[in-house]
Amino acid sequence: MIYLDHAATSNPKPAQVVEAMTRYISQDCANPGRASHPLANDASRLIFETRERLLNFFSASDDAHVVFTGNITESLNLALKGLLVPGDQVIVSSMEHNAMMRPLRQLEQEGVIVTVVPCCPNTGLIKADNLKAAMTPKTKLVAINHASNTFGTIQPIAHIGLLCRQQGCLFLVDTAQTAGVIPIDMEASCIDLLAFTGHKGLMGPMGIGGLVIGNSLQGVTIKPLITGGTGSNSELEVQPDFLPDALESGTPNLPGIAGLNAGISWLQDKTVDAVSQHELTLTRQLVKGLQAIPGVILYGPDHTQPRVGVVSFTIKDKDNGEIDELLAYEHGIYCRTGLHCAPAAHKTLGTFPNGTIRLSIGAFTTSEQIEQAISAIKQLAS
């Protein structure tokens, strides 16, 4: 098996992630904040340690908060639906994933003003000038996908964040394809809200994600998606009004948090810079190899431009689905075809409605595997 579907989820996970989850389930299983016995206290410490590790990992301010969710889709819904009210304007790029666009289209029906700024039809990059031109006195939030899950385009979040700070609006970043893959500094990039998921670049399991809320939102009310038991203020039948409890109800995913904690620890030991360089080197190898194959059409930034390890292509006069099936069942190369839950991105680069074939690289991908993938695609293209 050659696994090239890391944009969907990373595989395999580091051994210490498996060990941490197994240990929690087999030995340390307890509900945090609901009791004072040693196992419950250990669970509370694990949550605290993971929150602190995440704040450090994303270079967030000391008084920022980490709210755990089930995945980045829930995180984005929490930020968008918790902040925006009818009459507010939110600005997004034309490269967004449906995890962003579907909740926004729902909010649009309720009176929120959704403005989509077109991106470059060749690279998918957004221009800060176009973003600024779309801003109005009603602009409350700019929400941007840091890197495209379909074409690998990396948006200039530091420039966008500074613009938002100057214009007095909030900045939300979707880091599904970048957290753990390229360094992210919330303070330097003026990020107010950072949504992340555990099961991709952070090397954790599925079912755990979160929202990092910066200090610029102190005093700003974010409406919770759900309310209920938190283990705090149990004498009251109203939701606590302090973070993170105000936005976290019910028993948390402790096995997932244990795995996420271990995954970030593994990344900190290896360093995100090393992972980034590894994936960039292999991405350039893949792009150059595919460019040399007659009939292969590549989309998105070229090998000289900043990008994450996501490469989309089609083969002239070939069906995407058939190529995907042949890669999997004849060559053992696992990838993904279609619209990748990002129709807006495909419309931007002109690959809608048929989509593309997507190869995505991870921390454990090797140069030899990339060469085998290039060889298989060359054979299928001919």
Q: For residue range 19-52, list pLDDT tens digits in order.
A: 999 999 999 888 887 888 989 899 999 999 999 9
239 C-beta neighbours (distance < 10 Å), count: 16
Q: What is the DSSP code (8-state) at residue 154? A: B
pLDDT value for 35: 81
pLDDT value for 305: 81
273 C-beta neighbours (distance < 10 Å), count: 10
Scan for tokens 């196992």, then name that residue: 39
**Cβ distance 336 to 8 under 8 Å?**
yes
Output the DSSP codes for 220-264. -----S-----SSSTT-SS---STTGGG--S---HHHHHHHHHHH
Q: For residue range 160-193, list pLDDT tens digits in order.
A: 999 999 999 999 999 999 999 999 999 999 999 9
Residue 303 in this model has a pLDDT that exceeds 80: no
131-137 own/partner pairs: CB under 8 Å, 24+ apart: 131/91, 131/160, 131/163, 132/163, 132/167, 134/91, 135/91, 135/167, 135/169, 136/89
Q: For residue range 188-208, list pLDDT tens digits in order.
A: 999 999 999 999 999 999 999
pLDDT value for 11: 97
pLDDT value for 30: 86
Taking residues 62-80, report their average pLDDT.
Answer: 96
Closest by Cα among 137, 126, 216 to 171: 216
Check whether domain 15-270 has CATH 3.40.640.10, yes or no: yes
**Cβ distance 314 to 359 under 8 Å?**
no
Q: How far is CA 216 from CA 167, 168, 190, in A?
A: 14, 11, 9
Give the right CATH number for 2-9+272-381 from 3.90.1150.10, 3.40.920.10, 1.20.1250.20, 2.60.40.10: 3.90.1150.10
Q: What is the mean pLDDT of the chain?
A: 96
User: Alpha carbon 13 to chain centroid distance?
Assistant: 17
Residue 218 in this model has a pLDDT that exceeds 90: no
Strand 209-213 vs strand 193-197: parallel, antiparallel, or unpaired?
Answer: antiparallel
Percent of the chain having pLDDT more than 90?
Answer: 93
Radius of gyration of the chain measured on its C-alpha atoms: 21
Residue 227 in this model has a pLDDT that exceeds 80: yes
User: Alpha carbon 62 to chain centroid distance?
Assistant: 23
Distance CA 56, CA 54 (A): 5
**Cβ distance 348 to 118 under 8 Å?**
yes
Output the DSSP codes for 74-103. HHHHHHHHHH--TT-EEEEETT--HHHHHH
Q: What is the pTM of this model?
A: 0.96
Distance CA 309, CA 253 (A): 29
Distance CA 277, CA 66 (A): 28
Helices (H), ranges, the chain: 15-23, 38-57, 72-83, 98-109, 128-134, 157-167, 254-270, 272-291, 320-331, 343-349, 367-381
State which H helix or E strand residue 170 sits in: strand 170-174
Closest by Cα among 300, 290, 368 to 323: 290
User: Alpha carbon 215 to chain centroid distance?
Assistant: 21
Taking residues 349-370, report their average pLDDT.
Answer: 98
269: its two tokens: 């030991």
Residues found in the chain? 382
Percent of the chain having pLDDT more than 70?
Answer: 100
pLDDT value for 302: 83
Residue 135 in this model has a pLDDT that exceeds 80: yes
Using the Cα atoms of residue 236, residue 237, residue 243 and residue 249 in order, give the sign of their dihedral: positive
Any idea where the domains of the chain sit in the sequence?
A: 2-9+272-381, 15-270
Q: For residue range 265-280, list pLDDT tens digits in order.
A: 999 999 999 999 999 9
Distance CA 69, CA 1 (A): 32
